[in-house]
Amino acid sequence: MPVTIQQQGRRQLIMELLANHSIHNQAELVQLLRVQGYDATQSSVSRDLRDLGAVKLKGGYSLPERPDQDNEHSLGMVSEFVRALRSAGPNLIVINTAIGAANRVALVLDRVSWPEIVGTVSGDDTIFVATTGMAAQKRLVARLQGSISSTELQ
């Protein structure tokens, strides 16, 4: 489902609120959003937090660090080595690369620090990418397809 303009604005505000306030539960976040003019529900806030990669810690909700722009640029630079991308179960993606390129591509994936990626294991021309679950796998496949133009989901 595509993200609407209202969702984008609400998510941007959520990121700002989490960066500037200690928010311990979703009800607090709903109230802060309503004060700012967003008619949010607990379920929409829950989805937003999940999609933003927020985690609940002792001190409140926290967002993952923003990926380094240079690392995402590096992903574009190694995209020429990617030959195929496919799902393999609910939390695994298999990426086939040119011979000898898997380690290089896996290293870039590890360094982009996307919240969906738990870790990578690479061989000579194949990479296994573990994700946090099925939803994360789907988000990651979409991100990778957007960053690596030569891939096809099989």
Give the pLDDT score at 65: 59
What gap in Å lies between CA 118 and CA 135, rounded to an integer? 13
**How many CA atoms does the CB half-sphere of 4 hold within 13 Å?**
4
Residue 29 DSSP symbol: H
As a whole-number percent, the residues of the chain with pLDDT over 70 amount to 88
The model's confidence at residue 153, banded by pLDDT at 50, 70 and 90, is very low
Give CA–CA dist 154/9, Å, rounded. 34
| Domain membership flag for residue 105 | yes
**Is residue 152 in a domain?**
no
Whose tokens are 């957007």? That residue is 146
Q: 137 and 76, same structural domain?
A: yes
Q: What is the pLDDT of residue 43?
A: 93
Q: Which among 83, 81, 78 is positioned nearest to 96, based on CA atoms? A: 83
Give me the percent of the chain exceeding a pLDDT of 90: 44
Which residue did the predictor score with more confidence, 54 or 95? 95
| CATH number of the structural domain spanning residue 32 | 1.10.10.10
The average confidence (pLDDT) of the chain is 85
* Beta strand extents in 45-91 (DSSP E only): 55-57, 60-62, 82-87
Is residue 117 included in any domain, yes or no?
yes
Domain that includes residue 99, residue range: 69-147
pTM over 0.85: no
Query: CA torsion 25→27→29→34, rounded to 10°?
Result: -170
Confirm whether 154 is domain-assigned: no
Given 47, 62, 77, which residue is the final one in a domain? 62
Considering the domain boundaries, does residue 153 fall inside one?
no
User: Residue 93: which CATH number?
Assistant: 3.30.1360.40
* Domain match, 77 and 103 both: yes
Mark whether 56 and 75 lie in a shared domain.
no
Question: What does the pLDDT look like over 9-66, one tens digit per residue?
Answer: 899 999 999 988 899 999 999 999 999 999 899 999 998 888 887 878 778 888 765 5
Higher pLDDT, 1 or 76: 76
Two tokens at 41? 């529900």
State the pLDDT at residue 141: 87
Q: How many domains is the chain partitioned into structurally?
A: 2
